[in-house]
Amino acid sequence: MTVTTPSARASRWSALRPWLGIAARLGLAAVWLYAGATKVGDLAASGRAVNAYQVMPYDLATVIGAALPFVELALGVLLLLGLATRLTAGVSAALLVVFVAGIASAWSRGLAIDCGCFGTGGQLAEGQAPSYLPEILRDLGFLALAGFLLIWPRTPFSVDGWLTGEPAVEDEDE
């Protein structure tokens, strides 16, 4: 049995953390870019998807639905570049909490809707069953990525690092 000292574990974590961070940053960027891209071509459908949750007036839902793809695309671009990573991760986390709450609300009220997370969404056809639990679990996974970046926003190959002049990966001697 190999025993690792706390300093060896800390050293391994210190070496691994930036690479986990870049995986989280690029993974979450891909999610936001894909989600925004699937909706930006039909903003009216995006508005109808938000309205299907029945939590706000129709006019407000359509405005939010029309704006949402652009917010998602902006978050994706910022994460892809690694610019304002902690702030972008915070906005991502807040938005994901809203998404989870919305899906949970629709589920608890017995609505039969498609979440509209990666496309048009809206009311499901008669007899078609919603898939709320997988959607909530998926969004909780994305929330974990955002949480990681909130705690450890420094990642290799980021504009944040270039602007501050900080090394992409910490030296073990520091």
What local confidence, expressed as pLDDT, does residue 171 receive? Answer: 44
DSSP states along 105-157: HHHHTT--EE--TTS--EEPPTTPPP-HHHHHHHHHHHHHHHHHHHH----SS
What local confidence, expressed as pLDDT, does residue 96 receive? Answer: 98
Position 173 pLDDT exceeds 50? no
* Cα separation values, 66 from 9, 70, 90, 119, 168, Å: 47, 8, 22, 13, 37
Give the pTM. Answer: 0.88
Reported as a single tens digit per residue, the pLDDT across 6-18 is 787 888 888 899 9
**Residue 168 has what DSSP assignment?**
S
Sketch the domain layout of the chain as residue ranges: 16-154
How far apart CA 78 and CA 31 sit, in angstroms, is 12
Reported as a single tens digit per residue, the pLDDT across 115-137 is 899 987 888 888 888 999 999 99
Position 170 pLDDT exceeds 60? no
For residues 28 and 149, is the Cβ–Cβ distance under 8 A? yes
What local confidence, expressed as pLDDT, does residue 19 receive? Answer: 93
Reported as a single tens digit per residue, the pLDDT across 54-92 is 999 999 999 999 999 999 999 999 999 999 999 999 999
Q: What angle do CA 107, 121, 80 make, to 5 degrees?
A: 105
Nearest Cα to 103, choosing from 93, 112, 92? 112
Token pair in block for residue 94: 């807040």
